[in-house]
Amino acid sequence: MTKKQVSKDDLIAAIIKGIDEVKGEDIQLLDLRDIENTVCDYFIICSGSSNTQVNAISGSVQKIVSKELKDKPWHIEGQTNSEWVLMDYVHVVVHIFQKHVRDFYDIESLWGDAKITEINPV
């Protein structure tokens, strides 16, 4: 039995909904499809104000994606200290930062060739 392919648009929408449910801030979608040799098609980046909120955001994303799309991340890193949690959904990678860590690594600048969209959930 093969797993049903999840639409990238549906996955992105579910991830953003999960971030918004627990008040994740400064959400950006980076479209990496036109850049050669990238590890995925999209990055979704957001910030939380504490390790508790970063954990809450990652938990909310997992819960909503699982409930709505019956999908789960291929890999998750960073939940031990919750300063930077990375959730790998293969084609979409979610980066959840504490604000000071996001400022330090500034991965938006590292992927400056990507098309960046500011997400302002309702």
The predicted model scores a pTM of: 0.92
pLDDT at 84: 97
Q: What is the pLDDT of residues 73-103, one digit of tens each?
A: 999 999 999 999 999 999 999 999 999 999 9
pLDDT at 3: 52
* Domain contains 80: yes
Residue 107 clears pLDDT 90, i.e. is over it? yes
* Domain contains 2: no
* Domain contains 3: no
* Domain contains 115: yes
pLDDT at 5: 73
pLDDT at 1: 41
* Domain contains 104: yes
* Domain contains 45: yes
* Domain contains 57: yes
**What domain range is 26 assigned to?**
8-119
Residue 34 sits in a domain whose CATH number is 3.30.460.10
Calpha distance 51→83 (Å, rounded): 6
Residue 2 clears pLDDT 50, i.e. is over it? no
Report the domain count for the chain.
1
Contacts of 11 (CB under 8 A, 6+ apart): 65, 69, 71, 89, 91, 92
* Domain contains 108: yes
